[in-house]
Amino acid sequence: MNPISTCSHCLLAIGRLGQEREVNGEKHAFCCYGCCLAYQVHHGEREEPDAALLLIRIGVGAFIAMNIMLFSLLLYSGTFGVEDGATAHLVHSLLWILTTLLVIVLGGPFVAGAWQAARQGRLTSDTLVSIGTLAAYGYSAHQVWYGAGDVYFDTVTMVLVLFTLGRYLEARGRVQAARSLAPMLAAERAEVRAVIDGSDTMRPVHTIQAGAVLRVLPGERIAVDGVVVEGRSECDEAVLTGQSEMQVKVPGASVHAGSINGAGQLVVRATTDGNATRWIQISRAVRSALARKTLLGETVDRLAAAFIPLVVMLAIGTFWFWSGRVPFEQAMLIGLAVLVVACPCSLGLAAPLATSLGIGIAAQRGILLRSGSVLERLARINAIAFDKTGTLTEGRPKVLQVSTQDAAEQQVLLHATALASASEHPLAKAIAEAGRGLNTTAASEVRAHPGAGISGRVDGHIAAMGSVEFMSAMGWPVPASLQDGPMESTHVYVGWGHRVHGLIALADRLLPEAAEAMTALRRRGTPVLLLSGDREAVVARIATTLGIPEWRSQLMPEAKVAVLQDWAERHGPAAMVGDGLNDGPVLAAAAVGIAVGGATDLARESADVVLPERALGNLLWLFQLARSVRESIRANLTWALGYNLVAISLAMFGLLQPIFAAALMAGSSVVVVSRSLRANHRASSAPAAPIVQTAPV
């Protein structure tokens, strides 16, 4: 992926009309003139000459503009005497010279933008500004040359100044939209404090390799995945896990890139390379999400592209209409007002701004969206299907119960753990987990019997662990008291000395937040479906516990796709929530595929949304966010279209001076930006999905 596909200033996607420029020795890309302007104004603290250049240009432009306005004001106020033609001509000539300078200084960027677009066969708002100001300038110059009539150099001046100011203000607003995302997107460029030979050296994060030792100061963002070697602190991992509580970090604890260190200083040993952390992956994912155009954005862009030729035609038509009825100058001013008041800028801003705000807000809760169009689809979702294992349950079996016969529970666990620690099987891992802390010695002569069990020598005698069939194959009888274990659980028998001594029952446990999420969905009346490859009894029990009315069990991945599609036909667009490990096809087939959990490889293309582990509670919040983004876009579009309609009508009827038209147009973009920012503020301060305290589990 091209590393600079988003604007260096506002972080929005760069369209075909991006500008590339070197600032302070670094290559940057900007989506528009305003962003280029604002970026240089705000990144000039290092006293770099080329950063100051643009500001000098504006300052000098302002100086010239002020002189033009001064003389124009004096001219209008009659200070020079109305009858005195010679003085007036002198002042007009002076204004001509000043305006020529101004058109070069402030008009240059607009003309350059229009030219760039023209070479691609397109018209942009730069084209409108260029045509308008150059027409007024040319006409006024002609007037001065022949020493006749009024001049409109002040109009040219004000249009240029207001448009430049408008572009700058718009860019300032846009950057606020992306401010929350800035540290995430800068992840690849972060610098870390490497401890080399006892002293700290600043290094770019991508040069850090696993095993390097780094120092993290209080308040700094941790840039590597690693283990704490020294120090004690608390870390804010909200951006990775969505959990707002600070996580305590002591030596031995693992820290994650992207989390923010609290009050203590930490020394961390990296466990992965600096450019392979989950944080960097998130950074790349968000960057590419921002760079992708949304369906709606694409439509609006096409609309705006068609809009500009229409405006040019309207302006010409208006001019032609009025030129037969009023003096030439007046007809020209009316045409000029039509040109400058039509503002596709606010139209073009309406969708991408709100969308990137949405992506940013979600990312702050650790929720990754594949692209802006995912938000559009999320807003249309009517129903949600869930996978069971790893989504509603922990996805890992846990020891539920240990039953014994002629042995102590600890003895059973001791033998089981000794055998289990030699195996990678999920059940063995769960048993080893349960037996952690017991003083076990590892078994010797361990033999795994795939699909059946495991045997070995513990404390000098043969021990075995496995299914009831495995025990019979060993020739060890299962006592009657151990024949039955808890329902819907997996049974593992443990024996030694030619006898079965214990039964360990294991089961996958329901996530507490699953119940909360289901209750919240039920309250909203959203249809919910449970899809699982598991046995009927297990699925039925989970569905009953969670209050899910519809479920399907023993489904192969392909069958899940068919069931989901069938179900979606009845209930409308459906989202699928899964762990992304074995339900890739169904996630891809759903209207929106939502993968839960850190286990998922972020590069996996099948999921549209990646929720952090244990973040089901944020599911409803995400839907609300998507809907509020959609509302914000709709309101913006209505506003921008309505505004243009009214403004163009006023201008066509000759009711709008070009200067006011330019001021209105500069205002409209600013209004759209600030509207979106307000919506952003409301959405991000909204609480997460209602937390239900009395979960029916």
Give the binding site for other proteins (CB under 8 A): 41-42, 44-45, 47-49, 51-53, 55-60, 62-63, 66-67, 69-70, 73-74, 76-77, 79
Pairing state between β 592-596 and 574-578: parallel
Pair of tokens at residue 228: 């704490």
For residues 62 and 134, which CB has a smaller minimum distance to other proteins in the complex? 62
* Nearest distance, CB of residue 72 and other proteins, angstroms: 9
For residues 42 and 142, which CB has a smaller minimum distance to other proteins in the complex? 42
Residue 2 Cα distances to 10, 29, 283, angstroms? 17, 11, 14
Between CA 591 and CA 607 the distance in angstroms is 10
Between CA 589 and CA 570 the distance in angstroms is 16
* Nearest distance, CB of residue 172 and other proteins, angstroms: 8
For residues 56 and 537, which CB has a smaller minimum distance to other proteins in the complex? 56
For residues 74 and 250, which CB has a smaller minimum distance to other proteins in the complex? 74
Long-range own/partner contacts, residues 321-326 (CB < 8 A, 24 or more apart) = 322/654, 326/654
* Nearest distance, CB of residue 73 and other proteins, angstroms: 5
> Around Cβ 156, how many Cβ atoms within 10 Å?
30
Check if the beta carbon of residue 392 is closer than 8 Å to that of residue 546.
yes
Pairing state between β 213-216 and 191-196: antiparallel
Work out the widest C-alpha separation in the chain, in whole angstroms: 125
Residue 242, judged by CB atoms within 10 A of its CB (0-12, 13-18, 19+), counts as buried
For residues 79 and 244, which CB has a smaller minimum distance to other proteins in the complex? 79
* Nearest distance, CB of residue 151 and other proteins, angstroms: 18
Pairing state between β 528-531 and 550-552: parallel
Cβ-Cβ contacts under 8 Å for 417 (sequence gap 6 or more)? 431, 432, 434, 435, 436, 438, 440
For residues 80 and 567, which CB has a smaller minimum distance to other proteins in the complex? 80
Q: From the candidates 225, 273, 301, 387, give the one annotated as an active-site residue.
A: 387
> Around Cβ 143, how many Cβ atoms within 10 Å?
18
Between CA 269 and CA 376 the distance in angstroms is 42
Between CA 664 and CA 656 the distance in angstroms is 10
For residues 45 and 569, which CB has a smaller minimum distance to other proteins in the complex? 45
* Nearest distance, CB of residue 150 and other proteins, angstroms: 18
**Can you give the C-alpha Rg of the chain in angstroms?**
34
> Around Cβ 306, how many Cβ atoms within 10 Å?
11
Check if the beta carbon of residue 225 is closer than 8 Å to that of residue 258.
no
The DSSP result for 136-168, as a single string, is HHHHHHHHHHTT-S---HHHHHHHHHHHHHHHH
The DSSP result for 351-365, as a single string, is HHHHHHHHHHHHHHT
Residue 655, judged by CB atoms within 10 A of its CB (0-12, 13-18, 19+), counts as exposed
Number of H helices, E strands in the chain: 22, 24
Q: Which residue, 564, 583, 624, 176, is CA-closest to 367?
A: 624
For residues 46 and 570, which CB has a smaller minimum distance to other proteins in the complex? 46
Q: Which residue, 677, 669, 18, is CA-closest to 354?
A: 677
* Nearest distance, CB of residue 94 and other proteins, angstroms: 14
Asked if 387 is an active-site residue, the reply is yes
* Nearest distance, CB of residue 56 and other proteins, angstroms: 4
* Nearest distance, CB of residue 223 and other proteins, angstroms: 28
* Nearest distance, CB of residue 613 and other proteins, angstroms: 42
* Nearest distance, CB of residue 101 and other proteins, angstroms: 12
| The dihedral formed by the CA atoms of 264, 265, 270 and 275, expressed in degrees to the nearest 10 | 90
Q: Is 526 helix (H, G, I), strand (E, B) or coil?
A: coil
H-only helix segments in 534-657: 536-546, 557-571, 584-589, 619-652
Between CA 467 and CA 500 the distance in angstroms is 11
Catalytic residue numbers, as ranges:
387
